[in-house]
Amino acid sequence: MNTAQMLPEEFLYGGDYNPEQWLDYPHILERDIELMRKAHINTVTLGVFSWAALEPEENVFTFDWLERMVDRLHAGGISTIMATPSGARPRWLAEKYPEVLRVREDRTRELFGARHNHCYTSGAYRDRVQMINSRLAQTFADHPAVLMWHVSNEYSGECHCPLCQEAFRGWLKDRYDGDIDALNHAWWTAFWSHTYTDFSQIESPSSRGDSALHGLNLDWKRFVTAQTADFLRHEIEALRAGGARQPTTINLMDDYTGLDYGRLAKEVDIVSWDSYPRWHRGADAETALETGLQHDLMRGLKEAPFLLMESCPASPNWHEVSKAKRPGMLACAGLQAVAHGSDSVQFFQIRQSRGSSEKLHGAVIDHYGGEDTRVFREAAQLGSVLGTLEPLAHSRVEAPAAVLWDMESRWAMEDAQGPRNARLHYHETLVKVYGGLRRSALNVDVIPASSPLGSYEIVAAPMLYMLHPGTAERLRDFVSRGGTLIMTYWSGVADETDLCFLGPAPHDLTDVLGLRREEIDALYDGEENRLVPAADGGLAGGKSYVCRNLCEIVRLNGAKPLLEYAEDFYQGRPALTVNRYGLGRAYYLCADAEASLHKDLAERIMRQRNLRPILADVPDGCEVTSRTDGSREYVFVQNYSCAPAAVPVPPDAELLSGAGNVLPAYGTLVFARPLAGKPGRE
Ligand code: GLA
Ligand code: ZN
């Protein structure tokens, strides 16, 4: 099933709405619906954090207010995404069942408070969640306005309680087939005499105990993901047991490293996420690039359209500085999600809280309470634009290029001591590699490294420190069949247990790359080297590039150097190389180079492969993206600079949104054109 089969034929527009905070203010609830209609809102998310209002005492259920709310919204043409309330529990639950509260890594138990403070192993918590979820499902399973289930809220964090310790040991026993020697080998416990003789001795990582046993840390993180997935499954089973048939989603977060989203996404029907970029802090085009990467990563989790579940119509109140969005930014940010494959623009939140920690968080309806505010007007405007874009809903993004990421590899690499404890800059490298391709006006998929590579022309594998079984083979096969691979320094270092590979590196890929790594030099912050054209090479004419942080020294065995180091004892040694392998080519970048190198490299590869950009001559500061429904291509051009930009709109384009070909600051132009072959190909 895809979103087209699961959701209405329109973009969902709306966001989180918390009537439980306003039950004593009936006039406000009435007026809100009127205002929502004026803003063209068609969907709200209800029930996130409503547990105390739904079950004020154990087994006393008070759903009437929620039912009335859903009905009234429905009568006003507004659908509901229904949340399960497990993200925050009522006081009585924590008092009666203290085991539901989390234990920190230092083994102290949390008090009741905040949210997302639950033990995902606790049977008592699971029982109460089972009860309320199945009751909610019984009530709303057949409601025509309830579109989908939003399970919990932003799953995150970990628990080190005795129940979780026991579950962890059980999980390890399964993983190592009950063989403690296998675990000792995988974790290399002979180091510092940490050998286990029984699974019962194992404790989760702790600052008071083992914190630098990398294999333990890695397996703990895997366990946290597995246990969260198990809890999520439990929540969904309760919904299904209550008769719910609507699709499920979880709202994921921006660059969250506590869980492996690749694993979690498998449990739900649709991926959604919460996007809170720091607009207007530095260049917005940079912020747009990073946000675009996250959108593409969310799309890549299921290789399908996703939902933008939360975003802020004004400014969130948890950034260091609550910067107001400049005129146009609200629509620009929402349409960026759509351009990258979202089938919704949802806000947090519709009505601003009156008290507590989010009272100053931006909302569509603020404390003033009326429609004559700039934010409300801009929200209403975006609602009407989304209406005109309806034919695009559920269309797909097709990309000729993919960037691979791997959370387990990142966990291991960032936990490893060396080669640069002052940060490896993995995320920044991902952004630079992605940016090279995106800024060459290509759609880019950002996908887990375990994904099939079949249809891509270009695959980039930045800092793929860990190679799972099968990954090197898939990359080899991709290149030998004619693909272009971009691999970088600090790849192919360790296996899936974080044991370093023995033998030449990057492991199992030295023939594909035509080289092997000899050393890696780490630079202090502020230190630089330069990459200059090699004797018979060069990347873009005579250009040279600055590099920082990490510089690998490689020995060539067939690869041709394009750039070489200009300084230090490895001056003259290769820094960017290319190797022909089978029908394809493999590029290897040895150093953390500046962003412009990645764009020059992408453009070189596009020329080599005859790949055309979505749109040629896009001005700097503008982003171009496209979606397709199989017969037409829908092109989005967005201007993230503060000045108007001239956009080369092709003559056969049918304008769907925006006017003329001068795009104002934060403006978006959307046009349709017939699909000529596969996007990205000549
Ligand atoms: C997160 C949460 C919301 C709200 C917003 C505020 O995304 O899911 O409940 O706290 O942040 O930005
Ligand atoms: Zn626990």
d(CA 499, CA 369): 59
Distances (CA, A) of 619 to 89, 614, 623, 669, 671: 50, 13, 9, 13, 17
Q: Beta strand pairing status for 270-275 and 248-253?
A: parallel
Spatial contact of 574 and 552, defined as CB atoms under 8 Å apart: no
Arithmetic mean of pLDDT, 452-464: 97
Spatial contact of 460 and 405, defined as CB atoms under 8 Å apart: no
d(CA 568, CA 29): 68
- The full length of the chain comes to 682
pLDDT band at 4 (very low <50, low <70, confident <90, very high): confident
Torsion of CA 303, 305, 307, 313, to 10 degrees: 120
> Is the pLDDT at 563 greater than 70, yes or no?
yes
> Is the pLDDT at 323 greater than 50, yes or no?
yes
Interval between CA 161 and ligand 2 midpoint (Å): 4
d(CA 536, CA 546): 20
Interval between CA 133 and ligand 2 midpoint (Å): 20
Q: Ligand 1: which of 274, 275, 325 to mutate, judged by most atoms within 8 Å of the beta carbon? A: 274
Interval between CA 505 and ligand 2 midpoint (Å): 40
Arithmetic mean of pLDDT, 652-671: 93
Q: Which ranges constitute the DSSP H helices of 83-213?
A: 91-96, 123-140, 162-175, 180-187
Interval between CA 348 and ligand 1 midpoint (Å): 7
> Is the pLDDT at 678 greater than 60, yes or no?
no
Arithmetic mean of pLDDT, 420-439: 98
d(CA 114, CA 94): 12
Q: Ligand 1: which of 255, 298, 310, 319 to mutate, judged by most atoms within 8 Å of the beta carbon? A: 310
> Is the pLDDT at 543 greater than 90, yes or no?
yes
Question: Residues 6 or more apart from 681 whose CB is under 8 A from it?
Answer: 400, 457, 610, 611, 612
Interval between CA 657 and ligand 2 midpoint (Å): 51
* Ligand 1 atom showing the smallest separation from residue 274 Cα: 7
Give the closest residue to 395 by CA, choosing from 626, 611, 190, 629. Answer: 629
Residue at 628: amino acid letter: T
Which residue's CA is minimally distant from atom 12 of ligand 1? 316
Which residue's CA is minimally distant from atom 5 of ligand 1? 348
pLDDT tens-digit series, residues 31-78? 999 999 999 999 999 999 999 999 999 999 999 999 999 999 999 999
Torsion of CA 360, 154, 309, 379, to 10 degrees: 0
Question: What own/partner pairs with CB < 8 Å and gap ≥ 24 does 600-603 have?
Answer: 600/436, 600/539, 600/540, 600/543, 601/436, 601/486, 601/539, 601/576, 602/401, 602/436, 602/437, 602/439, 602/440, 602/442, 602/458, 603/440, 603/540
> Is the pLDDT at 682 greater than 50, yes or no?
no
Spatial contact of 235 and 86, defined as CB atoms under 8 Å apart: yes
d(CA 607, CA 462): 22
Helix orientation angle between 426-438 and 407-415, rounded to the nearest 10 degrees: 140
Torsion of CA 209, 213, 219, 222, to 10 degrees: 80
Ligand nearest the Cα of residue 101 is 2
Question: Does the annotation count 310 as an active-site position?
Answer: yes
pLDDT given at position 661: 86
- Residue in 10, 55, 154, 378 annotated catalytic: 154
Percentage of the chain beyond pLDDT 70 is: 99
d(CA 477, CA 486): 14
Max Cα distance, the chain (Å): 79
Q: Please name every residue paired with 561 in a beta bridge, in sequence order, or none if there are none.
A: 577
pLDDT given at position 537: 87
pLDDT tens-digit series, residues 156-188? 999 999 999 999 999 999 999 999 999 999 999
pTM, to two decimals: 0.98
Which residue's CA is minimally distant from atom 10 of ligand 1? 358
Interval between CA 318 and ligand 1 midpoint (Å): 9
Which residue's CA is minimally distant from atom 7 of ligand 1? 274
Buried b (16+ CB within 10 A) or exposed e, 416-449: beebbeeebbbbbbbbbbbbbbbbbbbbbbbbbb
Arithmetic mean of pLDDT, 448-473: 97
Q: Ligand 1: which of 348, 350, 357, 358 to mutate, judged by most atoms within 8 Å of the beta carbon? A: 348
Q: Please name every residue paired with 654 in a beta bridge, in sequence order, or none if there are none.
A: 672
Interval between CA 126 and ligand 2 midpoint (Å): 11
pLDDT given at position 363: 98
Buried b (16+ CB within 10 A) or exposed e, 335-347: bbbbbbbbbbbbb
Q: How far is CA 406 from the centre of its chain?
A: 12
Q: Which ranges constitute the DSSP H helices of 357-494?
A: 374-388, 407-415, 426-438, 471-480
Spatial contact of 290 and 244, defined as CB atoms under 8 Å apart: no
d(CA 512, CA 587): 9
- Do you find a cis peptide bond into 462, omega within 30 degrees of 0? no
- Residue in 110, 235, 310, 398 annotated catalytic: 310
Q: Which residues line ligand 1 (CB under 6 A)?
A: 153-154, 274, 276, 310, 316, 348, 358, 361
Question: Does the annotation count 166 as an active-site position?
Answer: no
Spatial contact of 403 and 635, defined as CB atoms under 8 Å apart: no
> Is the pLDDT at 427 greater than 90, yes or no?
yes
Burial of 358 (0-12, 13-18, 19+ CB in 10 A): middle
Question: Residues 6 or more apart from 428 whose CB is under 8 A from it?
Answer: none
Q: Beta strand pairing status for 668-674 and 632-639?
A: antiparallel
Residue at 669: amino acid letter: L
pLDDT band at 1 (very low <50, low <70, confident <90, very high): low
> Is the pLDDT at 677 greater than 80, yes or no?
no
Q: Beta strand pairing status for 79-83 and 444-448?
A: unpaired
d(CA 575, CA 571): 10
Q: Which residues surround ligand 2, an ion (CB under 5 A)?
A: 119, 121, 159, 161, 163-164
Ligand nearest the Cα of residue 272 is 1
DSSP 620: T
Torsion of CA 407, 412, 417, 423, to 10 degrees: -10
* Ligand 1 atom showing the smallest separation from residue 253 Cα: 7
d(CA 117, CA 119): 7
> Is the pLDDT at 679 greater than 70, yes or no?
no
Ligand nearest the Cα of residue 204 is 2
Question: Residues 6 or more apart from 323 whose CB is under 8 A from it?
Answer: 278, 279, 280, 281, 315
d(CA 30, CA 37): 12
* Ligand 1 atom showing the smallest separation from residue 153 Cα: 8
> Is the pLDDT at 469 greater than 70, yes or no?
yes
Interval between CA 357 and ligand 1 midpoint (Å): 11
Q: If you average pLDDT over every residue of the chain, what do you get?
A: 97
pLDDT tens-digit series, residues 107-122? 999 999 999 999 999 9
Q: Please name every residue paired with 351 in a beta bridge, in sequence order, or none if there are none.
A: 365
pLDDT given at position 681: 43
Query: In angstroms, what is the C-alpha Rg of the chain?
Result: 26
Which residue's CA is minimally distant from atom 3 of ligand 1? 348
Arithmetic mean of pLDDT, 201-211: 97
Which residue's CA is minimally distant from atom 4 of ligand 1? 348
